[in-house]
Amino acid sequence: MLVAEDNQVNQKIAVTQLRKLGCTAEVAANGLEVMEMLPTMNYDLVFMDCQMPEMDGYEATRAIRRRERDHPNCRWKVPMTIIAMTANAMQGDREKCLAAGMDDYISKPMRLSDIQRALAQWNPRQVGENASSDPGT
């Protein structure tokens, strides 16, 4: 997994929650780092913060989708699954994420149950057998 998040506290929370679900994750601090890291590893999916400096999650997602469309042999699985992570939980935010090319949406603060649901839907083989079942963590 790749977690794109500029806030260090949120980075640690996301990585810890993914670890509880039996997943490993690397962190990118902005969309530019995502674009640099995607070709270097075989990531299963990206948890993408929407508001980041330098290149936000919307712009990074559009760049990923453009590269997938224009270069079908790009160096990551196509299409890359992108799950938005955002503190914006207002009406229309989910639609804005999907319109940018993201596959799903999780609002912050992220709950373990939300991450588990997204993984079960988008990447079921990654959900660890010994995952915590505490929905509040």
Distance CA 127, CA 111 (A): 15
Question: How many folded domains does the chain comprise?
Answer: 1
pLDDT digits 0-9 by tens, 35-94: 999 999 999 999 999 999 999 999 999 999 999 999 978 889 899 999 999 887 677 888
Q: Is residue 127 part of a domain?
A: no
Q: Is residue 132 part of a domain?
A: no
Q: Is residue 135 part of a domain?
A: no
Give the CATH number for residue 36: 3.40.50.2300
Q: Is residue 134 part of a domain?
A: no
pLDDT digits 0-9 by tens, 52-61: 999 999 999 9
pTM comes to: 0.88
| Domain of 107, in residue numbers | 2-122
Q: Is residue 136 part of a domain?
A: no
Distance CA 11, CA 18 (A): 11
Q: Is residue 30 part of a domain?
A: yes
Q: Is residue 131 part of a domain?
A: no
Q: Is residue 75 part of a domain?
A: yes
Percent of the chain with pLDDT over 90: 74
